[in-house]
Amino acid sequence: MKKQTLHSTLNQTDEKQRQESISLLNQFLSDFLALALVTKQAHWNMRGANFIAVHEMLDPFNEKLLEWSDTFAERIVQLGGTAYGTPPVIVETARFKPYPLDIYTTRDHLNALKERYGALGNAVREAIEDEKADPDTIDYLTSASEDLDKYLWFIEAHLDD
């Protein structure tokens, strides 16, 4: 994401670190919103073995992804930035390849979700390890990473035979 003109704030976080945090959080805002949408896509359209268990499992995942999106957007604004959460921005910036629209089995949806939850979890961990964001943003990302790891575990457990 491009560098933003920052809004006035008494937040004393270094401007370079604020810019880095804002950019990182806007990327994750897009990624988490995109993952929430594809999670709902799977929730609505899966059929077959373990349908009801997986169907019901995905709603809380979606809700938490939307909560994290809200947290990231609010943090962006706290740092003096502008949160970019519109559909065109999500389409342009989310790191995922398009979700397949021609799959129906529970297993196929779980495999598609596994790939995306794993990729996002790894991206969040990489951002944490880079330590370019401010400490509060790193704390948020650490907590979000814990949730993504848990959800990936649940998805993978459903795929084990």
Percent of residues, the chain, with pLDDT higher than 90: 85
pLDDT band at 2 (very low <50, low <70, confident <90, very high): low
Q: Which residue has the higher pLDDT, 7 or 60?
A: 60
Q: For the chain, give the mean pLDDT.
A: 94
C-alpha–C-alpha distance, residues 74 and 81, integer Å: 9
Mean pLDDT of 138-147: 98
pLDDT in tens, 39-71: 999 999 999 989 999 999 999 999 999 999 999
The 8 Å CB, 24+ separation contacts for 132-138 are: 132/17, 132/20, 132/21, 132/24, 133/17, 133/20, 133/21, 133/24, 133/25, 134/13, 134/14, 134/17, 134/18, 134/21, 134/79, 136/75, 137/21, 137/24, 137/25, 137/75, 137/79
Of the candidates 116, 147, 134, 112, which has an alpha carbon nearest to the alpha carbon of residue 30? Answer: 116
C-alpha–C-alpha distance, residues 160 and 150, integer Å: 16
C-alpha–C-alpha distance, residues 69 and 59, integer Å: 15
C-alpha–C-alpha distance, residues 109 and 124, integer Å: 22
List the Cα angle 113/119/123 in 5-degree steps.
145
Domains of the chain: 15-159 (1.20.1260.10)
Mean pLDDT of 87-94: 95
